[in-house]
Structure 1
């Protein structure tokens, strides 16, 4: 009889273990956990989670590297914009000096001299374009443009500044000719 009771208990346990539909101990209870450990499903789930964790760590490292690259580019672009601002400020100082010379020429040659008036008109135009250049630099600095767009716009602004410098040099030559 004792043997029979033991057999019924073992058969009942095996029957219940066979009814477990999941190897996850959270869902299948004790018998599901035992079955999962026995079949290796538990170890497989642990390995899958460890693999996923490693993938997440790699993704995090890639994002960190990308963030550092973006910060370095941002710093470089800020430096380049600051350098362009310095160049534009130097040109502005030169234009201010030229403006004083034109005023002196105007006093000396008279305000009616067409050459002095033409020089003054060109100088005013140059100042207007320099103000536009300064506004463009301000907009570039505050923009959220991507790297390629920012680099292209900065190069365009450098070319415009170079053209302004050439115009200034021509105006300087004209003022020197008038001063003679």
Structure 2
């Protein structure tokens, strides 16, 4: 299958709702919690912080946190006077859930498109809201590498935004810096 045909198929499936996670997980609160904790397993938060961030009642958040904690998907621990929650990285389905969330957000397709023809990419980092687990409809990506194909990048932005239905903002660096963010690809480490 050609790249264009594959892109069209992916686009059609996404737009038809076939790959939309919200058709499988009907609780919007649960889906937002899974995004929050599984896009980046270092993310942690407490009940009131989540209620403020999501603009929902503490009772709705508490119910879903309890369900996910009882299932072993989330862990909770005391932090000062609050209970903090985070993804259980030792859960047998942790990797599967993380991969599904990243596919739902379009990160797998974005990374594939970046690595395909962009040039000598050394590292790809997810920064901004999404790296903190907030799905604002915008994906901030830092691409580190030499001799990046800027013509390809111009066309890539619009094409990838159409495929994943999110705004994509690229930042380019020629040298590795100590970036805070989630590493999606690192040539030196092999991920």
Q: TM-score, normalised by structure 2?
A: 0.19
Return the structure number with greater strand share: 2
Q: Which has the larger radius of gyration?
A: 1
Return the structure number with greater helix share: 1
Q: TM-score, normalised by structure 1?
A: 0.20
